[in-house]
Amino acid sequence: MAIPHDVDPRDEVDPRAAEDPRNVYPSDDQFYQADRPPGHVLPEDRPRGGSPAVPLRHRGTWATVALVACIIVVIIAGIALFP
């Protein structure tokens, strides 16, 4: 069985339509380069080397602790009031 990329697409086209310009297929390189700008280079999404200039600040730590404490108090109060 032949590899699909090694098969000439015109072999599968009706011979009467072989010269039709609509049956001209681009190569893989032409197809994938059609929507790329010339000299395309993608920047790194996570640049290496060093940490951010300003350290990250995690807000909400105390709010999370207070929420967990409230939930624990509600559970303990429920157990104490409704044994």
Read off the pLDDT of residues 48-83 as tens digits, 9 standing for 90 and up. Answer: 666 667 777 777 888 899 999 999 999 999 999 987
Q: How far lies 6's CA from each of 3, 28, 44, in Å?
A: 5, 11, 35
The CA distance from 8 to 5, in Å, is 8
The conformation of residue 19, written as its DSSP 8-state character, comes to: T
Looking at per-residue pLDDT, the higher value among 80 and 22 belongs to 80
Token pair for residue 28? 């893989």
The answer to whether residues 26 and 34 touch, using CB atoms and an 8 Å cutoff, is: yes
What pTM does this model have? 0.34
Q: Which residues contact 8 (CB under 8 A, 6 or more apart)?
A: none
